[in-house]
Structure 1
Amino acid sequence: MASVAYFILAILAVAAAAPDSRIVGGDHVTIEEFPYILSLTYLYPGPGITVQRCVGTLVSSFHAITTAFCYTGAILENFQIRAGSTNSLAGGVVVGIANVVKHPDYSETPRSNDIAVTFLSSALGITNTINVLYLPPVNFNIPDGQTVQVVSWGFESETGAQLETLKTVNLNKLSVADCQAVYDDSEDVTVSDSVICAAAPGKGMCRGDSGAPMAMSNALVGISSFFQECLTDEYPDVFTRVDRYTNWILEVASSNSRSSGIRVAPVAL
């Protein structure tokens, strides 16, 4: 009985330590539909448990984009990246992480500039289940009210069981002004022109999938960064606006000895 109790406590500790942001109210999909998505799994050495901690997006054979928050309090060697699988904890191809570069102006609280370039330990080959997204051109604008699609692995609720298969959800983009009005008194996140806010009744982000990609026309336009009170329609979800960091990503990627291979989408997405 003691060992069972320890296991339950370990699971609770892992859930509390994992970064926030999981899809609620979405539809099940397969990796063939979203071959650019990556599961970032993490081994918690104390309880000896591996979980899908956050999500990344493949932008070249050697580079992935996720949030800086994904790596909060983490040991880099305990991460693995799984590509090419609908299941976050099985199948596909697994590689390690060689290096991570967080944005120099990243702030955890209040959350801002929440983006990081991840260098893979070995290249991922392009297949029907593994592929890349373009970066968006600088100053690419998404109109307010536009429907945007986010894909991730996720819990249905903060207290429910972890699901291991992909889900997608459609949200509607809000104006920065409307989003600022909601978060006006918040000390947890900075709402500026460098984020995208999006919401839909009964749908949104919850716990554990920081970095979930928002894509349009084969370009990565946003990554899940912050949510407030999972399962409420009062607060929109906050995504890092990737086009504000396109040039920084290219500079960081090209600083490595390998050719970056990252491409920017045509202006007309």
Structure 2
Amino acid sequence: MRVLALLALCVAVVAAVPSSTRLAGGNFVNISRYPSLASLTVTWNGVNHNFQCAAVLINNRSAVTAAHCVYYSPPNQFRLRVGSSYVNSGGVMHNVNSLRYHPNYSDSSYRYDVGLVRTSSNINQNNNVRPAPIAGSNYNLGNNQNVWATGWRHSSGSNNNRQIADSQMQTVSQSNCNSRYSGVQSISSDMVCTGWANQNSNGQCNGVFGAGIFHSGTLVGVTAQCMSSRPTINTRVSSFSSWIQSNA
């Protein structure tokens, strides 16, 4: 189990932090702003589907997400909703026929936290459904760059009442992020941290695992871990673009 991630999520939800610095207080937006963003649901009883994670569409059959989102369950327990601003209504639901995660991923580590969801049928594109371009292996994403973090923020009531939201953040240097996570874990070059370098509470949490980090419209990160008072850790897409493209 990803105990640290689950504990971090609980802490992030209850912590008193400025809404301007966390996606949980980000701006509600329409799906047309991020037509590649999808919601991944899972069923434990074969009837009711509940929100699991975000995902980002990268072609007409595949979406990228965090590996830990799909590590524990078979494909037939998942569905992917595209083309909707909400996780529990609208758009089109697709059954999932295969799940893939990086071969080096382990649930005891936060590295290689990237996975792929492949649908049973083709996903039709329109103004609300469109794959995102992904960062290639040579994509240069510097420090202190403005990026947009996306996810599914609670709109009201239960876990399934979520709406798409975004928040502008900055990339945080590896050395700074390592310092902030001292004694917790090491930040490797295939991760990219986001938040605000000069503030104590600065990650994006709540409904964002598997969601996209966008730089000038390009998918550069997939949210993997967040903890209160620390930058958010995202899987750096450029480090895994070859694996993503060959398996999508």
Taking the TM superposition and a 5 Å limit, the aligned residue runs for 1:205-224 are 205-224=204-223
Verify: 1:166 aligned to 2:164, yes or no. yes
Match for 1:197: what amino acid?
C
Runs of 4+ in 1 over 6 A off after TM superposition: 19-22
Structure 1 match to 2:78: 79
Structure 1 residues without counterparts, runs of 5 or longer: 1-15, 254-269
Taking the TM superposition and a 5 Å limit, the aligned residue runs for 1:52-201 are 52-155=51-154, 161-162=158-159, 163-187=161-185, 190-200=186-196
Instruction: Give the 3 Å change call, closer, same or farther, for CA 209–51 of structure 1 in structure 2.
Output: farther
Distance 1:199 1:53 in 2: 23
The 8 Å contact of residues 41 and 89 in structure 1, kept in 2 or not, is answered as: no
Distance 1:91 1:150 in 2: 22
The 8 Å contact of residues 149 and 216 in structure 1, kept in 2 or not, is answered as: yes
Distance 1:208 1:26 in 2: 12
Distance 1:170 1:71 in 2: 27
**Corresponding residue SS for 2:24:** coil
Match for 1:186: what amino acid?
V
Verify: 1:35 aligned to 2:35, yes or no. yes
User: Number of aligned pairs?
Assistant: 228
Match for 1:36: what amino acid?
S
**Corresponding residue SS for 2:25:** coil
TM-score by length of structure 1 reads 0.78
State which structure, 1 or 2, has the greater radius of gyration over its C-alpha atoms: 1
**Corresponding residue SS for 2:176:** helix
The 8 Å contact of residues 26 and 203 in structure 1, kept in 2 or not, is answered as: no
Distance 1:169 1:44 in 2: 32
1:235 to 222, 230, 233: 230
Distance 1:171 1:92 in 2: 28
Match for 1:195: what amino acid?
M
The one-character-per-residue Cα deviations of 1:50-72 (angstroms, maximum 9, x if unpaired) are 22110111110011111101013
Structure 2 residues without counterparts, runs of 5 or longer: 1-5, 14-22
The 8 Å contact of residues 25 and 203 in structure 1, kept in 2 or not, is answered as: no
RMSD: 2.5
Shift of 1:218: 2.9
Structure 2 match to 1:26: 26
Distance 2:234 2:208 in 1: 12
TM-score by length of structure 2 reads 0.84
Match for 1:174: what amino acid?
V
